[in-house]
Chains A and B, each alone.
Chain A
Amino acid sequence: AQSVTQPDIHITVSEGASLELRCNYSYGATPYLFWYVQSPGQGLQLLLKYFSGDTLVQGIKGFEAEFKRSQSSFNLRKPSVHWSDAAEYFCAVGLSDSNYQLIWGAGTKLIIKP
């Protein structure tokens, strides 16, 4: 069955430090991959997506993600976090053979230390 795993429930980083959030997926076909962010009191917002081509994709707010087919991973990175990045981050995989449904991970809550 298709699934998305985000192994870290919480991650704490200092402001200005680098960040990597992990995402692994299980899906037999070509994956369509997404990262969304959910800030407190706000709706989910798309950070970036990967469909094909260059495996390193750039998104909004200075985020990037790298697709590694051999590892079934799509990790999210940012070189230097800001206090405003504190939020919950969700990875999702799109099922091209099932009405374009998204399967979501459980999310990783990012906490920023001053």
Chain B
Amino acid sequence: EAGVAQSPRYKIIEKRQSVAFWCNPISGHATLYWYQQILGQGPKLLIQFQNNGVVDDSQLPKDRFSAERLKGVDSTLKIQPAKLEDSAVYLCASSSRRGFNEQFFGPGTRLTVL
């Protein structure tokens, strides 16, 4: 069974630029999560999808961050414009359904904003 795929693995941009991250969850997994992990901290949930609908985006900075999962499979997370404090690892995870089921994580995208 293929795991959660993310790309790119690394990205370096200047502040005020835009960036997008892509995630392909495990086949058949209905629930998809995007997390932000700042160095020295645990992951912080940004947004949770159930199929192609948003379940929870309460911690997503909506003035600059957006995410979509149009067909209920792949997802993209965008930052526009980026700030220095957005430097972090962005993790995508999926689980078979909502609830406290095991979340399977991708390797993450390390973003550096200069």
A and B from one complex: yes
A residues apposed to B, CB below 8 Å: 4, 9, 32, 34, 41-46, 49, 51, 90, 92, 94, 96, 98-102, 104-107
- Cβ contact within 8 Å between A44 and B105: yes
Count of inter-chain pairs, beta carbons less than 8 A: 53
- Cβ contact within 8 Å between A49 and B56: no
B residues apposed to A, CB below 8 Å: 3-4, 40-45, 48, 55-56, 91, 93, 98-100, 102-108
- Cβ contact within 8 Å between B45 and A92: no
Q: Which of B56, B99, B107 contacts A43 (CB 8 A)?
A: B107
- Cβ contact within 8 Å between A43 and B42: no
Residues of A with C-beta under 8 A to B48: 99, 101
Q: 10 smallest A-B Cβ distances: which pairs?
A: A104-B42, A43-B105, A44-B105, A99-B56, A46-B102, A94-B100, A32-B100, A104-B43, A43-B107, A106-B42
Given known A101-B56, A104-B44, A105-B42, contact A43–B100 (CB-CB < 8 A): no
Residues of A with C-beta under 8 A to B44: 104
Q: How far is the CA of A107 from the CA of B43 in the complex (A)?
A: 10
Q: Which of A44, A90, A100 contacts B99 (CB 8 A)?
A: A100
Q: Which residue of A lies closest to B43 (CB)?
A: A104
Residues of B with C-beta under 8 A to A90: 42-43
- Cβ contact within 8 Å between A107 and B42: yes
Residues of B with C-beta under 8 A to A107: 41-42
Q: Which residue of B lies closest to A43 (CB)?
A: B105
- Which of A41, A43, A90 counts the most chain B CB atoms within 10 A? A43
Residues of B with C-beta under 8 A to A104: 42-44
